[in-house]
Amino acid sequence: MVNYYFVCQRKLWLFCHELKFEDESERVRLGKILDENSYNRNEKHIMLDNVVNIDMIESWKVIHEIKKTKSIEKSAEWQLKYYMYYLKQRGIEIEKGILDYPKIKERFEFQLTKEDETKIRNLLKKIESVIYAKQTPHKINSKICKSCAYFEYCYS
């Protein structure tokens, strides 16, 4: 939900109201294939409390989020920081988070700061207000919409 909040609040609202189109999306399927074929030696797809699904974790000290492109990098960064925050709230201290872009062979490391934790707490309140809104948020009319699993829903 953190990722969706930064990408498109309409997508967040639709997803949380059980309108899920990711399974039908070609781009989502390609992303899953990329994820499955990257970093095979590490523990991957760790689902915690049915809330967070961490792409990869090393020795419960370093978490990785694997992305296809950097087009929505800010959302990926905050998704990763949220995972670090979530684990910290459960007594698991993560040393760092890494955004991996295997297709372009780039990676970026992040730490979770006290300032980030404050931002995340505020962000969670904003996400909640989007989810519980009575109406669907407006379309964002961005170039990223064309590759979204919800494109046909929003633009038909």
| pLDDT value for 72 | 81
Structure tokens at 71: 């087009």
| pLDDT value for 25 | 47
Q: Residue 145 falls within a domain, yes or no?
A: no
Q: Residue 33 falls within a domain, yes or no?
A: yes
The predicted model gives 92-102 an average pLDDT of 94
Q: What share of the chain is helix, strand, coil (3-state, %, to 5)?
A: 45, 20, 35
The yes-or-no verdict on residue 4 having pLDDT over 70 is yes
pLDDT of 8-57, one tens digit each? 999 999 999 988 665 554 555 555 555 556 555 556 788 889 889 898 89
For the chain, the average pLDDT equals 87
| pLDDT value for 35 | 53
Confidence of residue 69 (pLDDT cuts 50, 70, 90): confident
Q: Residue 71 falls within a domain, yes or no?
A: yes
Q: Residue 36 falls within a domain, yes or no?
A: yes
Q: Residue 148 falls within a domain, yes or no?
A: no
Q: Which CATH number belongs to the domain containing residue 91 in this structure?
A: 3.90.320.10
Q: Residue 149 falls within a domain, yes or no?
A: no
Q: Residue 150 falls within a domain, yes or no?
A: no
Who wins on pLDDT, 56 or 84? Answer: 84
Q: Does residue 99 contact residue 80 with C-beta atoms inside 8 Å? A: yes
The residue range of the domain holding 16 is 2-136
Structural domains in the chain (count)? 1
Closest listed residue to residue 65, CA positions, set 92, 102, 28, 93: 102
The yes-or-no verdict on residue 153 having pLDDT over 70 is yes
Who wins on pLDDT, 20 or 153? Answer: 153
pTM, 2 dp: 0.83
Burial class (CB in 10 A: 0-12, 13-18, 19+), 70: middle
The predicted model gives 60-77 an average pLDDT of 89
CA distance 30 to 28: 5
Q: Residue 143 falls within a domain, yes or no?
A: no
